[in-house]
Structures are given as C-alpha cells and as structure tokens.
Amino acid sequence: MDYYRQFLREKHEGKYAGCRYPNLVEIHGGMPTDYFAEVTKELMLAVFRGEEDLTLEEISRIARYNCIPLSVLACPKLIMLDMGRRRHRKMVAEVDNLYIKLKCMAREGNQKAEKYLEFADWEQQKFMRAAHNNRLSYGHYLVAKEEMRNYISFATPKPEKRGISSMEGGAA
C-alpha cells in the first residue's frame, strides 16, 4: 500500500490518538517530516501509532527545516486556534489573502495559477470550514499557509535569464 494513503487511512481510523506528537501528525503530509528526521517511513508510522518515539535530534530537525518551534512539535496536546482571539483571526486572514492572490493571478491569465487554483480551492474550503467551526489546529494553519505560498511561488513567472550575445565574426 502507498505510504501516504496508509497514513491517511490510519489517521481517519483513529490509530494516531495515542501519538506523543499530535501536532506532528497534523503537519505530516503538508510538510516533510520523515525526510528531515532521517527516519524510514515505517518508523514514522510507528511513531504516529505511539509504538516508537523520535529522538530529540530527529524532532529538532523536523522543527528547524520546517521553521516550526520545537515546543509546538513536542507539545503533547494538539494546539488549536481560537477564532475568538484577534491574533488567530489575523492568521486565518493571512492564509485567505494568499488564496485571493493566487485567484487574482489566475484571473489575470496566468495558466499555472489556474492549475494550482484547482487544488487550492478544495484546500481553502477545508481550511475556512475548520476556522468557521472553531476546529482549526495550528498545524493545519501552518500547512495551509505553506501550500498557498508554494502555489504562488510555483505560478509566479520567472524572469528571463540574463546572458550575453555572441558577436558574428569574433571581436571587433
């Protein structure tokens, strides 16, 4: 079975309820975890099931390379955003603004942005539904923000490479 499909199935079945790192489970799939931890996919699934633990060095690498505070990943409780707090509403608005920027790029005729918008639409709906229902985790926020940034980055036209022109017949 495909590793990521197995992860999603087991997560849906509730097999990760006893995981020591619930915030790591939230970001897995949207951000590299096993790659940066330098562990096998099988070990990472065992960590999610609560059968194994990561070393401090492994979880520190995940935090460092994904720009997430170590305290967030090591926290034994799932960190949730509170939509009653102004700061958390601003964080949600930040992701929404990135989505709107991608949408504007697509409206302006950017074909790459149109392609990425197909994925972003579904993700944004899921994200906003979680925020509206006050069930948005910090990990979900981080992943959504990173994905929107990536879509914009991938869709942004790259400038032409600078070069030199060769002269006919050699130097003048």
pLDDT at position 57 is: 95
Residue 58 vs residues 39, 47, 65: alpha-carbon distances, Å? 8, 12, 11
DSSP annotation of 170 reads S
pLDDT at residue 172 greater than cutoff 60:
no
Instruction: Tell me the pLDDT band of 28, cut-offs 50, 70 and 90.
Output: confident
CA torsion sign, 74 to 75 to 80 to 85? negative
**HSE value, Cβ hemisphere, 13 Å, CA-based, for 156:** 10
- Alpha-carbon distance of 58 to 121, in angstroms, equals 33
Q: Which pLDDT score is estimated for 167?
A: 67
Judged against a pLDDT cut of 80, whether residue 29 lies above it is answered with: no
The predicted model scores a pTM of 0.84
Q: Give me 14's structure tokens.
A: 């509730």
Tell me how far apart the alpha carbons of residues 36 and 28 are, in angstroms, rounded to a whole number. 12
**Where on the phi/psi map is residue 18: left (φ > 0), alpha (ψ -120 to 50), or beta?**
alpha
